[in-house]
Chain A
């Protein structure tokens, strides 16, 4: 019994962290799906989202507002708006001018943007960890005498919000006019342009949606862990990118699946082997999947266009 509960606890831990990997992974996968480049500055957008969350919550807290749901809603609104502005600006400044050139140039531009944003936040906010107290503490506890499974309210919120965002996004892509335009761009951007789709606008929109989801992840993780520093974007971005590749880069359900799988794999390794091997297993899994399914779990094999 204890073993089952322990397993359950580790799966819950893994799903929580996996959800946020998934949210960030969407940004990578969407941009890749449409323009075929990897937006390495995406992790930094997540970091900026977390900072904005902290600033809004602290500012409203100072005004004496304590209702956690109001705080969360306000922070969500501001964080999404600010991050969207960053996502839009990053695309305009760093990617659009080099879009026609070789892939390597776009890649270097992306890495440069990432370094710039990281250091810019460091100068603006200082390099020390900032912390806020838990807004929604507590949770449910169930189990037996020797081991109790702990499911915190925040974990449920993280999982729920992620699932909601995914459903919303999938519906948007598959049902709306803009979503159809997105899919058209992803299949053949040149042809889409000939047919009267404003591809520049669609690409901007992709970056903005990715940034909005990164801001949601920033808000959720910021509230869950309660700390932020200018360097959190790098590791989070790396993990989310791995999740995107694992699930099949370019595929939105793939990013979700990849994120959850990565999170659970990490938690189970930490729980049964050793925390030291967490990353070894996570990246080993990536290598294995890429060996046997080079396009990821849900990715479609690339068809050579003639």
Chain B
């Protein structure tokens, strides 16, 4: 009897959630693959937002439902995932994560009238295609590169600098931005070279860095390659400091590089979790034993919140109305005040230079 009533309850619950889950938000990003931990950050943030919005009564009485889609940070798979999202009838996407995956997916969303807010893709070209429904809750490489470049030029002032990138949209884009900024400041870039993502042996490159007397290295790319690069550098007796963008800043780099990751410079979005305004939200993450400090957690949270606010404000679930509303208004969010320009980029977003430590923590770098 007990079991039967439980079963009935379960069915009832299933039916009721289904009936209420009227607005589906696709969370697209890498669930698998070498950069899956960034996907986790994004999912953690987005899921928390969905949960809190639903707890507060949902959006215009309708509940939000998050569904994960795995693009493995692969451009080909991102296209397949985007098509699947369209076929599933989803109108709102939080994602994708890697710029090279976001770019091809955005073409499909634009064609099918799906709204996309990326919490992590920083490549400027994504919002330069003139799509009306593309937004982001993170800054651009064209902002991040100069921040890193200025820090190098003003604080580090290397004599022979090298810039290395992974030949991908994100890595090469940001590396080019850094090169332009430091060149303007008169820093000598002796080497600007690409490596292949997934490669394991960088000894030839490191020997070359040693020979050129390089005293500072900027790396545009993700942590698996930089981790190896750092580790092999120290083993081969090359001791110059390294710097990287937010794609290298997560505890896994310390796992890969160990002691060699100590003192690595990283540009990251500001630590939103330390903002007193977000104390309540940070508590909620901690209560679920989740880490709010990943660079994409708060931006992903904000992305969901913006979709909800947009639907409420526009009083319509049509992505075009929502997009119009988002561009016309400003919002107070966990990542600060959000205002959009015509392209769907944030009007104001800052990156901060941090020092990474071998135990996986970070501290603000000395100016």
Enumerate chain A interface residues (CB-CB to B < 8 A). Answer: 2, 6, 9-10, 13-14, 16-17, 122, 127-131, 133-134, 137, 139, 141, 146-148, 150, 152, 221, 225-227, 229, 231-232, 235, 266-271, 274-276, 278-279
CB A11 to nearest CB in B, in angstroms, measures: 10
- Shortest C-beta distance, B234 to chain A (Å), equals 9
A226 touching B224, Cβ below 8 Å:
no
Partner of B204, one of A14, A131, A133, A134: A14
Task: Tell whether B37 is near chain A: CB-to-CB under 8 Å.
Answer: yes
Residue of A nearest to B31 (CB): A127
In the complex, chain B residues 209-238 whose Cβ is within 8 Å of any chain A Cβ? 210-211, 213, 224, 227-228, 231-232, 235-237
> Across the interface, do A9 and B252 meet the contact criterion of CB distance under 8 Å?
no
Interface secondary structure of B, over-half rule: helix
Q: How far is the CA of A122 from the CA of B237 in the complex (A)?
A: 34
Contact B198 A235 (CB under 8 A): yes
Identity of the chain A residue whose Cβ is nearest the Cβ of B72 in the assembled complex: A127
CA–CA, A150 to B34, complex, Å? 30
**Docked pose: A152 CA to B32 CA in angstroms:** 34
Please indicate the chain A residues that have their CB under 8 angstroms from the CB of B232 in the complex: 225
Nearest-Cβ distance from residue B251 to partner chain A, whole angstroms: 11
Tell me if B348 is interfacial: C-beta within 8 Å of chain A.
no
Contact of B207 with A by CB under 8 A:
yes
In chain A, what residue has the closest Cβ to B235?
A152
Contact of B208 with A148 in the complex, beta carbons under 8 Å? no
Q: How far is the CA of A6 from the CA of B202 in the complex (A)?
A: 15
Given known contacts A6-B211, A147-B211, A271 and B200 CB-to-CB distance under 8 angstroms: no
Chain A to chain B contacts (Cβ below 8 Å), 5 pairs = A128-B34, A150-B236, A229-B34, A232-B198, A232-B200
Chain A residues with Cβ below 8 Å from B203 are: 13, 16-17, 267
- The answer to whether B32 touches A122, judged by C-beta atoms less than 8 angstroms apart, is yes
- CB-based contact A13/B204 at 8 Å: yes
CB-contact partner of B194 in A148, A232, A275, under 8 A: A275
**B34 nearest CB across to chain A (Å):** 6
Using known A-B contacts A122-B32, A276-B167, A279-B196, determine if residue A10 contacts B204 with beta carbons closer than 8 Å: yes
Complex CA–CA separation, A275 to B258 (angstroms): 25
Nearest to A141 among chain B residues (CB) is B237
Say yes or no: is B201 at the interface (Cβ < 8 Å to chain A). Answer: yes
Expressed in whole angstroms, the minimum distance between the Cβ of A115 and any Cβ of chain B is 14
